[in-house]
Amino acid sequence: MPDSNMLSNEELAAIAGGFHSDPFSVLGPHPAAEGVVVRTFQPASQSVRLVPHQEGVPSRVMEPVLPGSIYQVHLAEAPMPLAYSLEVTFDDGSVVQLEDPYRFPSITGPQDNRIWYERFGAHLHEIDGVAGTLFTLWAPNAERVSVVGPFNQWDGRRHMMRRHLTAGSWEIFIPGVGHGALYKFEIKTRYKGYMVNKSDPVAFFSELRPNTASIVWDIDNYDWQDEDWIARRAEIQALDQPMSVYEVHAGSWRRKGEGGWEWLTYREMADQLIPYVKEMGFTHIEFLPLAEHPFDGSWGYQVTGYYAPTSRFGTPQDLMYFIDQCHQQEIGVILDWVPAHFPKDEHGLGFFDGTYLYEHADPRQGEHPDWGTKIFNFGRGEVRKFLIDNALFWIEKYHIDGLRVDAVASMLYLDFSREPGEWVPNRYGGRENIDAIEFLRDVNTAVHQLFPGVLTIAEESTAWPGVTRSPQKEGGLGFDLKWNMGWMNDTLRYMGTDPIYRSYHQGTLTFSLLYAFSEKYLLPFSHDEVVHLKRAMVDKMPGDLWQKFANLRALFAYQFAHPGRKLNFMGNEIAQWAEWQESKSLDWSLLTQGKFHAGVQTLVRDLNHTYRSTPALYEADDRWDGFAWIDFHDALHSVIIFRRQVAADGDFVIVACNFTPQVHHSYRIGVPRPGRYLEFMNTDHSRYQGSGQINGEPLTTSDIHWNDLPQSIQVTLPPLGVIYLKPMD
**11, 171, 292, 406: which one is catalytic?**
406
Longest CA pairwise span in the chain (Å):
113
CA distance 213 to 304: 11
Long-range interactions of 272-275: CB distance < 8 A, separation 24+: 273/248, 274/322, 274/325, 274/326, 274/329, 274/331, 275/329
- For residues 413 and 431, the answer to whether their CB atoms sit within 8 Å is yes
279, 322, 675 from 174: Cα distances, Å: 50, 33, 79
**247, 359, 459, 622: which one is catalytic?**
459
b/e map 466-486, b = 16+ CB within 10 Å: bbbbebeeeebbbbbbbbbbb
8, 36, 57, 424, 642 from 4: Cα distances, Å: 10, 12, 22, 56, 90
Q: Where are the beta strands (DSSP E) in 353-495?
A: 367-368, 373-375, 402-405, 455-458, 481-483
Give the helix ranges, DSSP H, for 545-594. 545-561, 590-593
What does 79-120 look like in DSSP terms, one character per residue?
A: -SS--EEEEEEETTS-EEEEE-GGGSPPSS-S---S-HHHHS
Helix (H, G, I), strand (E, B), or coil: what is residue 131?
A: strand
Phi, psi of 417 (to 5 degrees): 60, 30
* Catalytic residue check, 406: yes
CA distance 676 to 658: 22
* CA pseudo-torsion sign 149, 152, 158, 159: negative
Nearest 10 degrees: Cα torsion 116, 122, 128, 129: -130
- For residues 304 and 211, the answer to whether their CB atoms sit within 8 Å is no
What does 619-675 look like in DSSP terms, one character per residue?
A: TTTTSGGGEEEEE---GGGTEEEEEEESSTTS-EEEEEEE-SSS-EEEEEEEESS-S
Nearest 10 degrees: Cα torsion 416, 420, 426, 430: 90
The alpha carbon of 726 is separated from its chain's Cα centroid by a whole number of angstroms, namely: 39
Nearest to 281 by CA among 688, 644, 560: 560
CA distance 580 to 247: 12
CA distance 10 to 238: 65
Total Cβ atoms within 10 A of residue 212? 20
Phi, psi of 390 (to 5 degrees): -65, -40
CA distance 406 to 79: 57
Q: Which residues contact 92 (CB under 8 A, 6 or more apart)?
A: none
CA distance 370 to 302: 13
For the annotated catalytic residues, the residue numbers are: 406, 459
